Amino acid sequence: MRHILAILLENEAGALSRIVGLFSQRAFNIESLTVAPTGDNSLSRITIATIGDDRVLEQIVKQVNKLVDVIKISELTDRKHVERELLLIKVAAMTDKSRTEVKRITDIFRGSIVDIGKQIYTVELTGSSEKLNAFIETLSNETEIIESVRSGCVGIARGEKALRV
């Protein structure tokens, strides 16, 4: 099962490598990982999407929590939450038909075309990882995908619940 973990940790040199090292050392899976400082510069926030059964997940949460730099860890997928991922994708737009189709599909998915080259459109789309998958699949039926990059997902709990110091 897929889980999204939000981790608040000290913004110290080496903190990220401790997290990544832990996952490889203990053979835990990382589907995606994103990291950036928070509003408080002394803190970083990491979002990890991982796959594992309940037993593995329990170990992941405990092991991450055990790292000295980690302040808090919370599993987002076990409660209501908002999940987003950013996609930038470069597609071939050589014919009128393909240009129209790319524009139309982008509108339907509420993305935006952020760059236009002679024969290439670059599209930006934000949404759940599932939505991004659907978008890429739809586009690939209409035109050639030249390059794509995904941010990995970030998430936040709905309602009052907050991950803070």
Partner 1 sequence: MTTELFTGAEMVVKALSALKVKYIFGYPGGSILDLYDAIFQQDEIEHILVRHEQAATHMADGYTRATGKVGVVLATSGPGATNCVTGIATAYMDSIPMVVLAGQVPTTLIGNDAFQETDIVGCTRPIVKHSFNCRNLAEIPNIIAKAFYIASTGRPGPVVVELPKDLLIPQNKAPFNIEINVKMRSYNPNIKGHPKQIRKAAKTISEAKRLVIYSGGGIILADASQLLTTLVETLKAPITNTLMGLGGISGKHENFIGMLGMHGSIEANKTMANADVILALGARFDDRVTNNVEKFCPNATIIHVDIDPTSISKTINAHIPVVGLVDIVMQQLLDELNAINFSPDEEALKDWWQQIHLWRDMRSVSYKQVAGEKIKPQRVIEAMYKITNGEAYVASDVGQHQMFAAQFYPFAKPRQWINSGGAGTMGFGLPAAMGVKLAFPDKHVICITGDGSIQMNIQELSTCKQYNLPVVIITLNNRSLGMVRQWQDMVYGGRHSSSYMESLPDFCKVAEAYGHVGIKIDTLDELDAKLEQAFRIKNKLVFVDVLVDEKEHVYPMHIRQGGIDEMWIEKGIKA
Site string for partner 1, 17-36 (x = CB under 8 A): xx--x---x-----------
Quick one: which of 112, 93, 106 has its CA closest to 134? Answer: 106
Residue 70 binding partner 1, by CB under 8 A = yes
Count of alpha carbons within 13 Å of 129, Cβ hemisphere only?
16
- Identify whether the C-beta of residue 75 lies closer than 8 Å to the C-beta of residue 3: yes
Q: Which is nearer to partner 1, 6 or 89 (CB)?
A: 6
Residue 63 binding partner 1, by CB under 8 A = yes
Q: Which is nearer to partner 1, 40 or 144 (CB)?
A: 40
Quick one: which of 53, 4, 56 has its CA closest to 32? Answer: 4
Residue 75 binding partner 1, by CB under 8 A = no
Identify which range of 5-13, 29-37, 125-133, 143-151 contacts partner 1 by CB under 8 A. 5-13
The rounded distance, in Å, linking the Cα atoms of 112 and 84 is 16
Identity at 149, one-letter amino acid code: V
Quick one: which of 6, 31, 5, 2 has its CA closest to 164? Answer: 6
The two structure tokens encoding residue 22: 């832990």
Residue 164 binding partner 1, by CB under 8 A = no
Which of 37, 51, 58, 97 lies at the binding interface for partner 1 (CB under 8 A)?
A: 58
Identify which range of 32-40, 63-71, 77-85, 117-125 contacts partner 1 by CB under 8 A. 63-71
| Pairing of β 32-37 and β 70-75 | unpaired
Q: Which residues bind partner 1 (CB under 8 A)?
A: 9-10, 13-14, 17-18, 21, 25, 55, 58-59, 62-63, 65-66, 68-71, 165
